[in-house]
Amino acid sequence: MKKRRCNRSCFSDEEEKVIGESIPIDLVIEILVRSPVKSVARFRCVSKLWDSLMDRPDFTESLYTISLSRPKLLFSCLKDGKTFFLSSSKPQGSSRLAAVKIHMSFPINRPLEIFRPVRGLVCGLNQHSTSKQGTVNVPLICNPSTGETLALPKLKTKRKRGVTSYLGYDPIGKQFKVLCMTHTHDRPYFYPHEVEVLTLGTDNPSWTKIQCNIRHERVVLDGNGHSAYDGICINGALYYLAYLLDEHTTGVVCFDFRSEKFKCIRFTHDMGRAYSTQSTLVNYKGILALLLPNRVNGMPSPGIQLWVLENAETHQWFSYIYLWPPPRPHRKKIVAKTKFGQKLHQNIKLRIQGMEAFKEHIAYTFLDHVEDLRQVSRIVGS
């Protein structure tokens, strides 16, 4: 076999010689990035050389890029005090069957507050009581694809408060960050009294307290299949629905993970009139959008409205209205578009195989889940 020159190798000559005796390094990389993530994770056990290969930024980024082209559906179910994650490839063509793969269980016992996955990782919360400390909230980072989970450092707040955690990624600094907001128990959704940020991947990660100058109350959602306090991370910014107390109106609160600053984005008058707790934020081709029921003169009307944010500084949105066709057997309803522009449909029965053990439990669905090989322990920096 004629050996090919590898232009992206960072191994020593001796290491390259060992691998090159059988398969060129660049060919090994091409094979691995096209293999299932869970299989690639097991390949770490082959040797120290392979383990170091899989931590190279160019390798993990290549694997992530390929995974972007084959996003999955991710389901979470609480059973016996633990959260199980299940994933399935999206049905292709006219297929109505999806087979799920059960991943390991994780010690997350607050499924309603699981934030949408970010680059393959999930942030959750383990809440338990102790005789000395009372209620303890432990934020966790886990990777459903590799089965890893890791508890984050203790929050600095000493008071007994509710906690909401959001995971984000700064694409410029290439860093994961966690935003935690604490609230009093009597008003758990009210304006956060304390806000802390944790930057992952540093030598000694620790929480840093920051200020939130926007008085707001998070909106509790229902009927959208996501967490109770749904949020979405797009291009390094977190967005979530909130009631803006000073303006007495509903809008969006934005947290930029790079600058670590908050700002609010107001709705237009028409958006405010049509807003309901069944609305949800979506990623529309890399831009924030709000999906809500269609209304005409304040009354429900067949179809949906998709409001896309045009300018966050001037609070400008533009809308699309999708009207349902006349009723007919097996008709399809467009209810959303993923960030890849794919249409999702309602009123099409999709059979899920492999969830029989969870049929008595509530399942929460996350779209466009992308698998990632990153080791949680090395991301956190512990």
List CB contacts of 118: < 8 A, sequence separation 6 or more: 167, 168, 169, 176, 233
> Is 148 found in the same domain as 24?
no
Q: Are the beta carbons of 141 and 147 closer than 8 angstroms?
A: no
Q: What percent of the chain has pLDDT over 70?
A: 77
Confidence band, pLDDT 50/70/90 cuts, at residue 247: confident
Lowest mean pLDDT among 18-22, 198-202, 238-242, 288-292: 18-22
Q: Which two tokens stand for residue 364?
A: 């929460």
The reply to whether 45 falls in a domain is yes
Mean pLDDT of 233-260: 92
Tens digit of each residue's pLDDT (9 = 90 or more) over 197-223:
999 987 778 899 999 989 888 887 654
The reply to whether 40 falls in a domain is yes
The reply to whether 304 falls in a domain is no
| DSSP states of 197-251 | EEETTSSS--EEEE-----EEEPPP-SSSS-TT-EEEETTEEEEEEEETTTTEEE
The reply to whether 229 falls in a domain is yes
Q: Is the pLDDT of residue 258 over 90?
A: yes
The reply to whether 328 falls in a domain is no
Structural domain ending residue among the three candidates 63, 89, 104: 63
> Is 142 found in the same domain as 58?
no
The reply to whether 314 falls in a domain is no
The reply to whether 295 falls in a domain is no
Full residue range of the structural domain in which residue 18 is found: 13-63
> Is 225 found in the same domain as 369?
yes
> Is 144 found in the same domain as 184?
yes
Higher pLDDT, 236 or 124: 236
The reply to whether 96 falls in a domain is yes
> Is 360 found in the same domain as 216?
yes
Reported pTM = 0.79
List CB contacts of 353: < 8 A, sequence separation 6 or more: 97, 98, 99, 100
Estimate the share of the chain in helix, then strand, then coil, as percent rounded to the nearest 5: 15, 40, 40
Domain count, the chain: 2
∠254-258-260 over CA atoms, to 5°?
Answer: 55
